[in-house]
Amino acid sequence: MKKLALLGSTGSIGTQALDVVRCIQKEGEHAVKVEALAAHSNIRLLEEQIREFKPQAVAVFDLEAASKLRAAVRDLNVKVYSGMEGLCALTELESVDIVLNSVVGMVGLKPTLTALEAKKQMALANKETLVAGGSLVMKTAKENGIEILPVDSEHSAIFQCLQGMYKKCDLNKIILTASGGPFFGKKAGELQHIRPADALKHPNWDMGAKVTIDSSTLMNKGLEFIEAKWLFDMEPDDIDVVVHRESIVHSLIEYKDHSVIAQLGVPDMRIPIQYALTYPRRFPSPVKQLNLADWQKLTFYAPDEETFTCFGACKRAIRRGGTLPAAVNGANEAAVALFLKEKIGWQDIGELVCHVADTFETAPVTSVEDVLEADRKARAYVLERCGESAR
């Protein structure tokens, strides 16, 4: 049995992870037990989860919300932590042996490092962890003998395809797929008056607001490009991206003999979540079976980097390396938050991210503080720039 600490339990990935746990237990298996849960501030849903799964401890990032939760669950034998310290404390619990980090944003970096230092198996859905602090995270994982299990559908697909690899030198390249988001095929002139409601209409995936906006700008694929470099120890030139509208082929790998292996499935995040939680075993899944005849055809296109400029910005950032990916990620997080509040336009996100990628200086990452400082400067730039031109 794996004993799980689930960070981000009230979000999209977190709620689907709990669906997976329910399904496995319904099948009579006891492969996963929920030991700890964490949320940002949605204490209504978190309380429901506590009463159902009976974890020994929980954490709430928002201090005021944590205080309210303590009062709400005082009839239960559960310890309630708060703040960043609380998130990290859950990853160090003696009873926990696997941490699923599904929080959104840079807040996920410190809990990831803490879990790795505590020698906990890491199922990682927080892409900012590797984008901003990839060198630190992979170094910490290696020093503690921990294999990071990817939860993103694309990286899980690559990970699954690699299970049949004989030697690392046999691998030629990896190929990430992208859905193309809601604006696939449109040009810059058609995207001048995009509202948040338009960008939140993803054609295939059920995701949180921030990730869905990132998908609409192709920033999400840029972040995954950077993640793939760290997760699979690849050079940027050995990572390709293709737009695959149907989201059936989740990613592919190419071997030296030009054989290409793909992982396919219906677009449902519960497949990669379950594989990360139960690896290396597989169990019955709540996800429906894939019937290829229902789809009839699968299509593939080159990404439009001229229109979706965030993607190219991420590739340039990881080629320059150092603290620049953290800065680009921070700029994007700040810009997306402003866009969701309708203070800037959709195209402004790309302009701000590209400016940071192309003009900010980079420096070696030697500590968490280096990453956080690069993130802070990028956010400050976005806020200052938009404070002058916000509409």
**Which residues participate in the annotated binding site for 1-deoxy-D-xylulose 5-phosphate?**
127, 153-154, 179, 202, 215, 220-221, 224
State the Cα–Cα distance between residues 220 and 153, nearest whole angstrom.
12
State the binding site for NADPH. 10-13, 42, 126, 128, 208
State the Cα–Cα distance between residues 46 and 133, nearest whole angstrom.
29
Paired strand residues for 81: 59
Residue 319 token pair = 């080629």
The sign of the torsion formed by the CA atoms of 47, 53, 59, 62 equals negative
The sign of the torsion formed by the CA atoms of 231, 8, 108, 35 equals negative
Of 231, 219, 222, the closest CA to residue 157 belongs to: 231
Answer whether 155's CB lies under 8 Å from 224's CB: yes
Instruction: Name the DSSP letter for residue 80.
Output: E
State the Cα–Cα distance between residues 219 and 214, nearest whole angstrom.
5
Residue 219 token pair = 């920033």
- Residue 19 to residues 126, 200, 277, 284, 378: CA-CA distances in angstroms? 19, 23, 12, 12, 37
The sign of the torsion formed by the CA atoms of 231, 105, 210, 302 equals negative
State the Cα–Cα distance between residues 344 and 352, nearest whole angstrom.
11
- Residue 15 to residues 130, 199, 238, 281, 331: CA-CA distances in angstroms? 22, 23, 34, 22, 28
Q: Which amino acid, 365?
A: V
First vs last C-alpha separation in the chain = 53
State the binding site for Mn(2+). 152, 154, 224
State the binding site. 10-13, 42, 126-128, 152-154, 179, 202, 208, 215, 220-221, 224
Q: Give 66-75 contacts, CB < 8 A, sequence gap 24+.
A: 68/43, 69/43, 72/43, 72/47, 73/47
Instruction: Name the DSSP letter for residue 343.
Output: S
